[in-house]
Structure 1
């Protein structure tokens, strides 16, 4: 009975635990590993000595994520692409956008806290800065508790979060999904029509497309290059379905009814400035399972 009760309590906290780990690590696979490790530690602990299981689990998953992040930095993992994403795009959080999937509050939370732009900026922070910002600003964990995890003073931890906050505010454009959707739809309409002039007009002159096909990131720069790529891949049998990708307007692309890729867009001042295309077979297979679809790569 005790173990069943403990498992139920853990499941109650799973969503928040995954949220902490994902924002720390930028990878759903690593985040799931960190969450599972927190369960292993809980199941082996004396729960009678734990006053607040939710807070205890949050602390554990944060410590596990911090250690994973420090290990990643120590190994000197470097990017195959000179951009901020490294050798693979961060795993996206994707929800098909049928207009009824989430209420406005949930949409706002997702857009603010899991946006692709935020993940990019977080990846540029030190592990300690990232932990301080994620736990305090996104999950309201007191600085005293964070300071204990980092073996720092509360004042030092506040400074870490403040420094991270300044970088985040400077690097994450404001997003409004409904407004973005209009420009994303126009982009795909122009691509289907093979209209290069309309496509180029929808893109910022210095737009960047990053495509992850499973063998590192291929980067295309400039409106003409990205527009040409879009026309080349346009096909009547490839259908785009509106989706929220990391809280922003994106699409799930199906081919003969099977998930082929997922695309995320950044729109600034009416122009598309960045596109991330997720087409790595293993990643698409995982996303297809999450969305209840078959994978075109299976």
Structure 2
């Protein structure tokens, strides 16, 4: 296989590899580093005997991501305030040929699911991502991870139960989410507390991720009264040069708030029964830099 051919094959599968690495790590920069390392492994040796490049590349990427995730866990770093994944632009293109598969991929990359995946062991997370998000057979996953198939099935079952018990059940219809997001943004930007309160579920939560580097609640806010008043107070303080852009992030509609030309924050809503159930606010500047180009 020529160098150009190897590059073409790798680029064909890059979206899948990045999707695997991001779901494993929840960090865009780390995922991109892993994919780059996978390219170096792919391009640095003789691949003439590889019959299925996609499977081979997913195996390399999974192992690299698993090693990196274990190192991250071993460092035991503390994070200031609630942690959320880095927002991830989701344009699945040819990797999701129909609506049903796209819905599965979108759900597996949602903020709510990725937060739950953080509580899995690295190996459980790898098995869950490969099985639930990408549909690999147990035998293939076992080969990728150098584990026996019975052990992989056990890991998959344990991870699936853990995720099902902890992830919230929300409306995933993108049209409804977009409509409610637009109405919510209009109420918040206009300082209309009454309109905002009408959109909030009584038990709504606000999860703010600043990493201690920007202003955001250092604890999860619970109840419509607390969430509504916090957002109302934030809107009243205002910043003159703010602008808003809609993007698809983590499989759903989101709002990118810009201060001048720089990303200031990301808002995304989880909704059910026509009400906002969770408000995610990401303000850690380290998690927003990559969105400058995405906008």
**TM-score of the two chains, using structure 2 as the length reference:** 0.84
Is the 8 Å Cα contact of residues 86 and 288 (structure 2) preserved in structure 1? no
Is the 8 Å Cα contact of residues 136 and 143 (structure 1) preserved in structure 2? yes
In 2: Cα distance, 1:8 partner to 1:169 partner: 38
Structure 1 243/29 Cα, relative in aligned 2: closer, same or farther at 3 Å? same
* Counterpart position of 2:199: 202
SS of aligned partner of 2:290: helix
SS of aligned partner of 1:48: coil
Is the 8 Å Cα contact of residues 104 and 133 (structure 2) preserved in structure 1? no
In 2: Cα distance, 1:285 partner to 1:246 partner: 16
* Counterpart position of 2:230: 229
* Counterpart position of 2:143: 148
Deviation string for 1:15-34 (max 9, x for gaps)?
A: 11001101111111111011
* Counterpart position of 1:131: 126
* Counterpart position of 1:117: 112
Is the 8 Å Cα contact of residues 25 and 65 (structure 1) preserved in structure 2? yes
* 2:265 is equivalent to residue 261 of structure 1: yes
In 2: Cα distance, 1:154 partner to 1:180 partner: 39
Is the 8 Å Cα contact of residues 220 and 226 (structure 1) preserved in structure 2? no
Which of 179, 183, 186 is residue 186 of structure 1 equivalent to? Answer: 183
Is the 8 Å Cα contact of residues 196 and 227 (structure 1) preserved in structure 2? yes
Structure 1 259/74 Cα, relative in aligned 2: closer, same or farther at 3 Å? closer
* Counterpart position of 2:12: 12
SS of aligned partner of 1:92: coil
What are structure 1's unaligned runs of at least 5 residues? 97-101, 292-298
Deviation at 1:256, TM superposition (A): 4.9
Structure 1 220/55 Cα, relative in aligned 2: closer, same or farther at 3 Å? closer
In 1: Cα distance, 2:90 partner to 2:149 partner: 38
In 2: Cα distance, 1:68 partner to 1:282 partner: 19
SS of aligned partner of 2:244: strand
* 2:163 is equivalent to residue 159 of structure 1: no
* Counterpart position of 1:295: none
Deviation at 1:104, TM superposition (A): 7.0
Is the 8 Å Cα contact of residues 204 and 272 (structure 1) preserved in structure 2? yes
In 1: Cα distance, 2:243 partner to 2:31 partner: 31
In 2: Cα distance, 1:37 partner to 1:249 partner: 31
In 2: Cα distance, 1:116 partner to 1:77 partner: 21
RMSD (CA atoms):
2.6
Is the 8 Å Cα contact of residues 28 and 91 (structure 1) preserved in structure 2? yes
Deviation at 1:121, TM superposition (A): 1.6
The aligned length equals 281
In 2: Cα distance, 1:80 partner to 1:258 partner: 23
Structure 1 284/71 Cα, relative in aligned 2: closer, same or farther at 3 Å? closer
**TM-score of the two chains, using structure 1 as the length reference:** 0.83
What are structure 2's unaligned runs of at least 5 residues? none
